[in-house]
């Protein structure tokens, strides 16, 4: 019985998973996170071009990880702004 009671808080956390934001595009539904990733990749590429022109790109320690984090940050910001 006590093991069932210990799982109760986990089940209460799952109640937040009822709504999955999706977008209707061309006859099918796409998850919102996929659309936000599609938005963030061109913005991250443009940000990379800007950083190369300015000269900051040469000083980035781990470029791949930095640009992945930029893409993740932009994607989460788009998800927050568009689907709040």
Instruction: Give the model confidence (pLDDT) of 43-66 as tens digits.
Output: 999 999 999 999 999 999 899 999
For residue 16, what is the DSSP state?
G
pLDDT-derived band at 8, boundaries 50, 70, 90: confident
Q: Give the torsion sign (CA, 33, 51, 68, 16).
A: negative
- Evaluate if residue 18 carries a pLDDT over 80: no
Q: Which of 81, 84, 79, 82 is nearest to 34 (CA)?
A: 79
Residue 18 or 48, more confident: 48
0.75 surpassed by pTM = no
pLDDT-derived band at 31, boundaries 50, 70, 90: confident
């Amino acid at each position: 019985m006590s093991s069932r009671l210990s799982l109760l808080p986990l089940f209460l956390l799952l109640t937040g998973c009822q709504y999955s934001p999706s977008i209707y595009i061309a006859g099918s539904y796409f998850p919102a996170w996929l659309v936000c990733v599609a938005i963030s990749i061109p913005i991250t590429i443009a940000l990379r071009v800007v950083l190369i022109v300015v000269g900051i790109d040469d000083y980035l320690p781990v470029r791949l990880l930095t640009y992945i984090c930029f893409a993740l940050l932009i994607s989460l910001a788009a998800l927050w702004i568009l689907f709040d």
